[in-house]
Amino acid sequence: MDFRIIHREQVGSTNDHAQERITKGVAAGGDVIWADEQTRGRGHDNNQWESAKGKNLTFSLILRPHFVEPAKQFVLTQLVSLAILNLLEKHIEKMIKIKWPNDVYVENEKIAGILIQNTLSGSVIDYSVIGIGLNVNQEHFLSDAPNPVSMIRFTCHEIRLKKLLDELLSIIGRMYGKLQSPAFYSELHDIYLDHLFRYEEWADYMANGEIFRAMITGINQFGQLKLKTEEGEEKIFGFKEVEFVL
């Protein structure tokens, strides 16, 4: 697919900027809002995303995935998180995993996050705004985020952001082109599980204020997390219904 990069020195939030373009009717699939600095960069639930000006990749990609059924929209999360993982594997020789649903970790530290906002029109996804924050050249973090890390920790040298952006968009484009084949959904699911943080490992989780020990056994078609407790009980959680105890 073709990408059109719209570069801004500063915006409030790249996702908000993308949504404004959609509202005004000037957005197209493949538009990329890339900012050197976000004054209101957001993660899930309006959490702040810390990023020093000009040090990291912060951008939003607009897609029009009409061929993806709304009930199967989690494939977009799988695709983008795996694209980031594939990019990082070309630059970092460490264990890289996806922490459900869409944080990318190097070992036990968070290097990237994704915020996807889908707009439905009838029975199709009209627009998908995919916000990506990838820590690249920032060496010090000031927020109280528990475990941020950047690529520079492992590469020991700065990376040109535009080159990295082009590389990531190329990977996303190749994978996105395959989404029109239903067979690719199953392939994505299997690869996602292969790279899932704590998959089939016993670990601690928290739900409803209580900590319990469980094992991730899979992801259902709606993107919900499937866990099995030590007592053998099967549990299914949606996003924000369970926390990883790190």
Q: Which fold has domain 202-244?
A: SH3 type barrels. (2.30.30)
**CATH code 3.30.930.10 region(s) in the chain:** 4-194
Residue with tokens 């209580």: 210
Query: Alpha-carbon torsion 14, 43, 75, 58, what sign?
Result: positive
Confidence of residue 24 (pLDDT cuts 50, 70, 90): very high
Higher pLDDT, 110 or 47: 110
Residue 114's Cβ-count burial label (10 Å; 0-12, 13-18, 19+) is: buried
pLDDT of res. 50: 73
Average per-residue pLDDT in the chain? 93
Residue pair 118/125 in contact (Cβ under 8 Å)? The answer is yes
Q: What is the pLDDT of residues 135-188, one digit of tens each?
A: 999 998 877 667 899 999 999 999 999 999 999 999 999 999 999 898 999 999
Q: What is the CATH number of domain 4-194?
A: 3.30.930.10
pLDDT of res. 182: 84
Residue pair 138/41 in contact (Cβ under 8 Å)? The answer is no
**CATH code 2.30.30 region(s) in the chain:** 202-244
- pTM recorded for the entire structure: 0.93
Q: What is the pLDDT of residues 193-203, one digit of tens each?
A: 999 999 999 99
Q: What is the pLDDT of residues 82-113, one digit of tens each?
A: 999 999 999 999 999 999 999 999 999 999 99
Q: Would the pLDDT of 216 be above 80? A: yes
